[in-house]
Amino acid sequence: MNDEIKHFPENVQKLLTDARIPIEQLKPIYYELTIGEHFPDDSIRLLEVNNSLIEELDKSKKLVIRGAHDDSATLCTSDQIFEIKSAETSNTLLLASPLDSSS
């Protein structure tokens, strides 16, 4: 086992092994993230959108979510309507600002 591998916390080594990720593919920097016990799982939703919606957001255009309690939710722009669909995954998805890896 090389020196870099020895310095990884055991939980990171186990995670890499379980995910079948060769440690050789990793950059020599890593961060361990911990989420507090009281973090509300349902407080954030991740939306996957197409390029036209990204352009709308970049131009600071208005996006509206509409729908009655018993209807499907829709995302509306000034000239398009998109049905919002929910998908669940067993994988954890984390959003983070770019990390400075120069140090």
User: Does residue 70 lie within any of the structural domains?
Assistant: yes
Q: What is the pLDDT of residue 1?
A: 47
Task: Clarify whether residues 1 and 28 are in a common domain.
Answer: yes
pLDDT tens digits, 59-87: 867 888 899 888 888 988 888 888 888 87
- What does DSSP say about strands 81-83 and 64-66: parallel, antiparallel, or unpaired? unpaired
For CA atoms 91, 96, 102, 103, the dihedral sign is negative
User: Does residue 91 lie within any of the structural domains?
Assistant: no
pTM summary value: 0.45
Distance, in Å, from the CA atom of 59 to the CA atom of 51, rounded to the nearest integer, reads: 12
Q: Which domain holds residue 28?
A: 1-37
User: Does residue 50 lie within any of the structural domains?
Assistant: yes
User: Does residue 99 lie within any of the structural domains?
Assistant: no
Q: Are 92 and 39 a contacting pair, CB within 8 Å?
A: no
User: Does residue 8 lie within any of the structural domains?
Assistant: yes
Taking every pair of Cα atoms in the chain, the longest distance, rounded to a whole number of angstroms, is 58
**pLDDT for residue 11 is more than 60:** yes
Task: Clarify whether residues 50 and 82 are in a common domain.
Answer: yes
Task: Clarify whether residues 50 and 81 are in a common domain.
Answer: yes
User: Does residue 33 lie within any of the structural domains?
Assistant: yes
pLDDT tens digits, 48-61: 888 888 888 788 67
Distance, in Å, from the CA atom of 77 to the CA atom of 79, rounded to the nearest integer, reads: 5
Q: Are 53 and 77 a contacting pair, CB within 8 Å?
A: yes
User: Does residue 103 lie within any of the structural domains?
Assistant: no
Q: What is the pLDDT of residue 33?
A: 66
Q: How many structural domains comprise the chain?
A: 2
**pLDDT for residue 102 is more than 70:** no
**pLDDT for residue 31 is more than 70:** no
Task: Clarify whether residues 26 and 54 are in a common domain.
Answer: no
User: Does residue 18 lie within any of the structural domains?
Assistant: yes
